[in-house]
Structures are given as structure tokens and as C-alpha cells.
Amino acid sequence: MKRITVIGPGAIGGVIASQLQRSGTEVNLLATPRSARAIREHGLRLVDNGTLHVDHPRITDDARALGVQDLVLVCAKGHSLLTAAESFAPLIGPETVIVPALNGIPWWFFEGFGGDLQGRRLRTVDPAGDIERFLPSRQCLGCVVYIASWVDAEGVIRPGARRRLVIGDTAAGAAPDRLERVASLLERAGFDIHRSADIRREVWLKLWGNLTMNPLSALTGAAVDRLVGDPATRQLAARMMEEARILAEGLGIALPMSTEERLAELDVLGPVKTSMLQDLEAGRAPEIDAIVGAVAEIGDLLGIGTPFIDAVLGLVRQLAVTRVPPAA
């Protein structure tokens, strides 16, 4: 894979791009005009183990300048894809491998799923089918990101020590070598890669934590350690997680641990600010629908009630309306 583009070189995309670049793999960056200007002026800056790395990959705000790519890593926020997916079309050819490194339920989730929900398009994720039209599910590899990272006020990316990516094919019949080519490329760049035979289970397992910690942190302003350490918010998170566990069973997804075991994993994260809280503090629109709204919608599709999830969804949507400027 020689032609590689990272879309959205922020807290996650910037880590991926920086490590690929430093491993000897040339990458292109596709960013918003504002981000592109900043990276052209200052470089792609990342602090790793106390060392500042400054890379100067090719960057543009116009996909037409790059043309068709072999590999596209989509690291933009899920809700931004609704308006931006068409602009990515010049990057995508029939053989392009697409790796969406996103939180929440991705647009490809029910492609190849089987059963009554086969091919179902979630209105909370891709209401008009535009994302699917320009970023076809059949060309996607699923990716679950375990990287705690943030961008400071100076635009410097500051990741934690953990750099784990779980990847897996989204559909049967995919080219047998595409998963291995991408996995090997990322391993050479220093990522801890887990190859999954059931990527939808991995998506749900990560979502199990994001579904609770993201909106609760946005509503309270608290980091993860305070949310799981307080008996009342821990109990609320447990109720939401139990509803999500029941939905997983309804989808035929067998989660490998109990609700309390998943909460125990959150106990060790410490004072981490979730992406939703970081977005609100920066005046950006938070990523609500893919993380919370899609789960509530799946409950409706299955005919399974999710009253705790629904209540938190309503509250965090109202918070976003009152806290984020209309243009965000």
C-alpha cells in the first residue's frame, strides 16, 4: 500500500499519521481548511514519552488534490461524515480499503449482518445513505480504537501510552489479504494490533463504555474516575450498560464479560476526559448520535425498552443545544 491518506489528523488521526510517518510510511492528510493551515505552518506535532515529534506530511483540504488512494483511514467524527462524505469521493476507487477509526455504531454495522436487520441503515448514523454511497461498506475494515489522546491549546497532540487497535473484516467474502496488509502496516508503525474474527462484538464492547462515560461526563463535567467512583453515577452507568447488554443479546452478540467486569475496566482509566466532554469544553458539537442515539434506535428496532439510555440521550442532546454555538 503506497497511497495512504488519513482523514482528520486530530487526537486520533494525528497519532496514526505521526506513527506511520515516523515508521517510514509516507502519508497524506486531509483536513479542514483551518487545520490544514495550522499543520502547514507548524507541522504535525505530537509529544510521545516527553519528546516532541514534528512531521511534515503532505496535507490538503481538497481530496481532489490527492486522487484515488490504496488505503484511507477515516478519523473524522461520525457526525461530520454526514456533510463531508461526498467530499471524500475522489479518494475512493474500487480497490481502496477504507478503515473507519470512529467511536460508536458505524454505518457499515448491519451490512452482511444477516437476519431481519441485514442492510439496515440507521437514521441516527446515515439517514439518507450518503456515507454508504461514498464510503461503501463492502470496502471497509472495522476498527476499534483504544488510544487516549487529546490536543492541547497549542495544537500539540498528547497521546497516552496505550496504542491498541482492533481490526476485522466487516463482510464475508472480502479479499483474504486486505486485513493482513493493513494490520502489518500498522504493526510496523508501532501499534498493538489485535485481529478480530468478530469485529461487531468488538465495536459493541467498546461502545459499552462510551455509551455511559461520554454522555455522563458531558452532563457533569466529571472525568471517568469520578463517574465510576461515585455510587450514584456508577449505578446509573450500570443501568445503561445492562440495557445495552440486553440489546447485544437481541442482536446475537455474546459479550465476553459482565456489566460489573466492564465497569471494573473503567475503574483503572483514571482522570480521563471523554471525547464528548473535550468537544463541549472546546465549543465543538459532541458526537451524540453514533454513541448514544444509535443504541436507542436499535432498541426501538428490536422492540426492547431502554429507558435509562433514552433519558440520558434526551439530556445530553439538550445540553449540546444550549452549550454549543449554532455554527459548531
User: How distant, in Å, are the alpha carbons of 38, 46, 254, 319 from that of 73?
Assistant: 21, 18, 28, 31
- Residues 271/223, Cβ–Cβ less than 8 Å: yes
Q: Which three cell numbers stand for residue 106?
A: 458505524
Q: What is the pLDDT of residue 147?
A: 92
CATH architecture of 4-197: 3-Layer(aba) Sandwich (3.40)
Domain 201-323 in CATH 1.10.1040.10? The answer is yes
Give 272's Cβ-side CA count (13 Å radius).
Answer: 25
pLDDT in tens, the chain (328 residues): 899 999 999 999 999 999 999 999 999 999 999 999 999 999 999 999 899 999 999 999 999 999 999 999 999 888 889 889 999 999 999 999 999 999 999 999 999 888 889 889 999 999 999 999 999 999 999 999 999 888 998 999 999 888 999 999 987 666 778 999 999 999 999 999 999 999 999 999 999 999 999 999 999 999 999 999 999 999 999 999 999 999 999 999 999 999 999 999 888 888 888 989 988 988 888 999 999 999 999 999 999 999 999 999 999 999 999 887 655 4
Report the C-alpha dihedral over residues 104, 172, 98, 214, rounded to 10 degrees. 10
| DSSP symbol at 246 | H
| CA gap 142, 169 in Å, rounded | 6
Q: What is the pLDDT of residue 93?
A: 97
Q: d(Cα 224, Cα 274) in Å, to the nearest integer?
A: 7
Residues 30, 35, 38, CA angle at the centre, nearest 5°? 120
For residue 268, which phi and psi values (nearest 5 degrees)?
A: -90, -5
Chain centroid to Cα 80, Å, comes to 12
Q: Catalytic amino acids?
A: 206
Do residues 237 and 230 touch, judged by C-beta distance below 8 A? no
How many C-beta atoms surround the C-beta of residue 245 within 10 A? 18
For 87, counting Cβ atoms within 10 Å of its Cβ (0-12 exposed, 13-18 middle, 19+ buried), the class is middle
**What is the model's pTM?**
0.93
**Dist CA 128 CA 141 (whole Å):** 22
Domain borders along the chain are 4-197, 201-323
**161: phi then psi, degrees, rounded to nearest 5:** -75, -30
- What is the spatial distance between Cα 151 and Cα 44, in angstroms, rounded to a whole number? 11
pLDDT of amino acid 328: 46
Nearest to 103 by CA among 48, 142, 139, 47: 142
Q: What is the full DSSP assignment across 262-328?
A: HHHHHHTT-SPPPHHHHHHHTTPPP--IIIIIHHHHHHHHHT---HHHHHHHHHHHHHHHHHS-TT-
What is the pLDDT, as a whole number, of residue 326? 59
Task: Give 243's contacts (C-beta < 8 A, 6+ positions apart).
Answer: 299, 304, 305, 306, 307, 308, 309
Helix or strand or coil: residue 26?
coil
